[in-house]
Structure 1
Amino acid sequence: MASASVSRIVPASPDKVWSLIGGFDTLPDWLPDIPESTPFEGGRVRRLKNTEGEIIIERLVDFNETERHYSYAILQAPFPVNGYVSTIRVHTVPGQENATEVQWSGRFNPDNATEEEVTDLFAGIYRDGLDALHQALTA
């Protein structure tokens, strides 16, 4: 099983960051590559459309409001992986009330691709996503 993980310090309190990214259906609020999200099954499944018009369907598999993290599995996507599970976590930065560490990580099995290719793919997605989050918080 392959994995990728990216973290970034963003200029906002953990509560403010979580209020923006903690909703499972809020990706369009901070991630420009995902302009559309439609919730299903009481909000436990989301149907995403990216800027290329590709469809991604994901299921929420774990959610913890108190600890500020959630995990989801990909059910359908144009990515060369299977068994994908990802987690987004919001961490406090000791001594800095207006700084937050956000970690986005995932585990997956390559499918018709090398481990390096899929690790690089998701590390890039996570990095670009956290860059977009930083921009959304400073806009």
Structure 2
Amino acid sequence: MASTIASITLPVAADRVWQLIGGFNALPDWLPYIPRSELSEGGRVRTLANPAGEAIVERLEQFNDKERYYSYSILKAPFPSRDYLATLRVIPQGDASSVVEWSGSFTPVGVSEEEITQLFHGIYTDGLQALKESL
């Protein structure tokens, strides 16, 4: 199983960052790669559309509003992987800044661990940069 983590320090209070990204249906609010998200199964499953129109279906596995994180798995996606589990977390750094971490573990399917790790690390890094720009 492969894994990766990306992080970014933001000059924004953790509560404000979490308010933007903490909702399981909030990806279109800050991640340009995901223009649409629809919830089902009582808010525990989200169906995302990427720019190519491909569906990505994810399940909320853990949610902790107090500690500002959630974890999710991928049920269906155009990625060469399985057993995907990721966590998006906001960590306070004093009153006026925070660190956002996006981490994931996954098993490659038909590609090397290095290739799938680079793919997800790029998604996380680009996503965190988009978050910075949206704030």
TM-score range, shorter chain: over 0.9
Deviation at 1:11, TM superposition (A): 2.1
Aligned to 1:42: 42
Query: CA RMSD, aligned part only?
Result: 0.6
Which whole-Å CA distance do the structure 1 matches of 2:133 and 2:4 have between them? 22
1:32-53 deviations in whole A, cap 9, x for unaligned? Answer: 0100000001110000001111
- Taking structure 2 as the reference length, what is the TM-score of the superposition? 0.98
Which whole-Å CA distance do the structure 1 matches of 2:96 and 2:31 have between them? 21
Aligned to 1:73: 73
Q: 2:96 aligns with which of 93, 98, 102?
A: 98
Percent of pairs with identical residues: 55
Which whole-Å CA distance do the structure 2 matches of 1:10 and 1:45 have between them? 29
Task: Please state whether the residue corresponding to 2:119 is helix, strand or coil.
Answer: helix
Deviation at 1:97, TM superposition (A): 1.8
Unaligned stretches of 5+ in structure 1? none
Which whole-Å CA distance do the structure 1 matches of 2:10 and 2:34 have between them? 20
Aligned to 1:115: 113
Aligned residues: 135
Which whole-Å CA distance do the structure 2 matches of 1:20 and 1:50 have between them? 20
- Taking structure 1 as the reference length, what is the TM-score of the superposition? 0.96
Task: Please state whether the residue corresponding to 1:59 is helix, strand or coil.
Answer: strand
Aligned to 2:127: 129
Unaligned stretches of 5+ in structure 2? none
Which whole-Å CA distance do the structure 2 matches of 1:68 and 1:25 have between them? 15
